[in-house]
Amino acid sequence: MSDSPRSVPNWVVRLAERSRAADGAPPFSDQALVDYRTGSRELVAIDEVAAAIVAPGEAEFVVDPAARGRRTGTALLETLLSSSGPGMLFWAHGDHPAARALAASHGLTPVRELLRLSRELPASAGFRAPNTTNPGNSGVGAFVVGGDEDEWVALNALIFRDHPEQGSVSRADLEQLETEAWFNADDFLVLRDGDGMIGYCWLKLEPPLGEFYVVGVHPEFQGLRLGGLLFEAGLARMRELGIQKAHLYVEGDNGPALGLYTSRGFERDSIDIQYSSLPGT
């Protein structure tokens, strides 16, 4: 792993921007980009018109919209398959027909769904700020940069211990995210029980859009409606800053989370599919 963060090449950034404009979804997850910067993923490219960010056993890749239909995606996929071991995983962000066709042509099997839910936040429909204090806890406040990192990483790992990406976020990953232009500690809401952190609602705000980046509650405090309290605090923060549309990502099989979000008016607007190269998975 690299000793210091490295930058994503400018041409990859521009390629991703063109792809997002054409497809309506970013081609790379934030975690894939963080992993590249910290050295745990590598870049595989074809002539600056196709790029993959690759970790052992997993890849995310994109082809320039202007270069599609020329078998460039096929060539990149086959390069990745030939250099990987069995069971390589690939994310198709946005679940576009061309991605489905490419996956099917190479025997890739869908194994996971990540749903993107969204809702408008009209200026005429304000949200009441929630009561963010409860008996026995000290309420919702802002994340403290330089003081809360280790506690948050430990809590996040506990909450998402069964999640393949979120549960493995390290302090180095968190510190890298703190350098992003969108990061604001005031948008990183944490819930404390006395001095201890028991939950959080991290927002990624890029007006006029706002994302519920990750929301979590300590397992011992689940069932107390604290997730709803944190979610309402996040909505109130977005309304305070004039965010016009909120969105979030949730696993397709996470029934409780889907129930929470749909009860707040969120509806599905896109889907990411993860494929495996193992047959019959």
pLDDT for 243? 96
Going edge to edge, which strands form the sheet with 89-92?
Answer: 42-46, 50-55, 58-63, 89-92, 267-276, 109-120, 245-251, 209-217, 196-206, 188-193, 139-142
Look at the block and give the residue holding tokens 């993860």.
274
Contacts of 4 (CB under 8 A, 6+ apart): none
Q: Tell me the domains of the chain and their CATH numbers.
A: 10-116 (3.40.630.30), 122-243 (3.40.630.30)
pLDDT for 91? 95
pLDDT for 117? 96
pLDDT for 14? 98
pLDDT for 281? 52
pLDDT for 129? 45
Phi-psi region of 257 (alpha: psi -120 to 50; beta: other; left: phi over 0): alpha
Looking at the DSSP assignment, which residues form a beta bridge with residue 191?
A: 140, 199
> What does each of the 281 residues of the chain score in pLDDT, given as a tens digit?
445 789 999 999 999 999 999 998 899 999 999 999 999 999 999 999 999 999 999 999 999 999 999 999 999 999 999 988 788 999 999 888 999 999 999 999 999 999 999 999 976 444 444 444 443 446 899 999 999 999 999 999 999 999 888 989 999 999 999 999 999 999 999 999 987 999 999 999 999 999 999 999 999 998 888 999 999 999 999 999 999 999 999 999 999 889 889 999 999 999 999 999 987 55
pLDDT for 137? 47
The tokens of 161 are what?
Answer: 């211990």
pLDDT for 257? 87
pTM of the model: 0.86
pLDDT for 124? 46
